[in-house]
Structure 1
Amino acid sequence: MSPRNTRPTTPRSGTRQSPRVALTPRAAELVRRLRAEHGPLMFHQSGGCCDGSSPMCYPYGEFRTGASDVLLAELGVDGVAEPVGFWMSADQFERWCHTHLTVDVVPGRGSGFSLEAPEGVRFLVRSRLLTDDETRRLGPGGPSHGDASADTSAHSRSGGPGRA
């Protein structure tokens, strides 16, 4: 599955980003290290509760997405062979649909469930309102929804990680 309305661009940070989600150079470097250790990765933006609202990084397929989740972006990171999906619950997306999210890394300890926790850092999302130009580029409609029985991104089409 590929996301709708996320035309990648290539910024200087070595990532191919979308109008909705970007990685800072620090986040891209951590993604490269985590990928080398854990294999293909994915993010799910938690909706509150225990971790506030943090992007959680999992080995690809460990977090099962369903019809109530939306794929905001498949981020390309130089040095990582496959795209890194960025997911969020549809309910949360309804509240955040007018924002651009930038995944960064800060010192501190995040959730024990997210792969970066033992590193002494945590992923953090910084948000801002989309510009009028970004909103026009996204066009009508929203991102693709997950499927309760599906694997979490394009890997399932190629027989890659995350197969059930």
Structure 2
Amino acid sequence: MELTPAAAVLLRQLRATHGPLMFHQSGGCCDGSAPMCYPAGEFRTGASDVLLAELAVDGMAEPVPFWMSSSQYERWSHTRLIVDVVPGRGSGFSLEAPEGVRFLIRSRLVQEPTP
């Protein structure tokens, strides 16, 4: 899992305003399938969530944990996930919404090594 440079810049800005951060991506439809950024601990994770990564961001003291619902993870498990940011409004629950941008996931297929 990785971050684009634009996503890293936005995370540093959000960290300066809101403190430590976390991501969660649910298995819902529409905005529910987009990564949501929250203050760390603000979204309660449970047994049906998978911690995919602790994203290191230059200039931030702590990594940003990225959680995903296990049902959503089943769909994405064969890909390399890339957190990006694009113009436009996403969910009003995610911290970047007032900035006029939204996080999204890009992916690349992970190919099995050839024997």
Helix, strand or coil: the match of 1:43?
strand
In structure 1, stretches of 5+ residues that fail to align are 1-20, 134-164
Matched, 1:62 2:42: yes
User: Take 1:102 and 1:95, find their aligned partners in 2: how far apart are those partners?
Assistant: 15
Structure 1 vs Structure 2 CA RMSD:
1.2
Helix, strand or coil: the match of 1:48?
coil
User: Take 2:84 and 2:28, find their aligned partners in 1: how far apart are those partners?
Assistant: 18
User: Take 1:105 and 1:39, find their aligned partners in 2: how far apart are those partners?
Assistant: 19
Give the % identical residues.
80
In structure 2, stretches of 5+ residues that fail to align are none
Q: 2:72 aligns with which of 63, 86, 92?
A: 92
- TM (norm. structure 1) is 0.66
Aligned residue runs from structure 1 range 99-110, under 5 A: 99-110=79-90
Q: Decide which structure has the larger Cα Rg and report it.
A: 1
1:52 is displaced (CA, Å) by 5.0
Structure (1 or 2) with the greater strand fraction: 2
Helix, strand or coil: the match of 1:67?
coil
Match in the other structure for 1:35:
15
Helix, strand or coil: the match of 2:90?
coil
User: Take 1:37 and 1:95, find their aligned partners in 2: how far apart are those partners?
Assistant: 33
1:131 is displaced (CA, Å) by 3.3
- TM (norm. structure 2) is 0.93
Aligned residue runs from structure 1 range 133-148, under 5 A: none
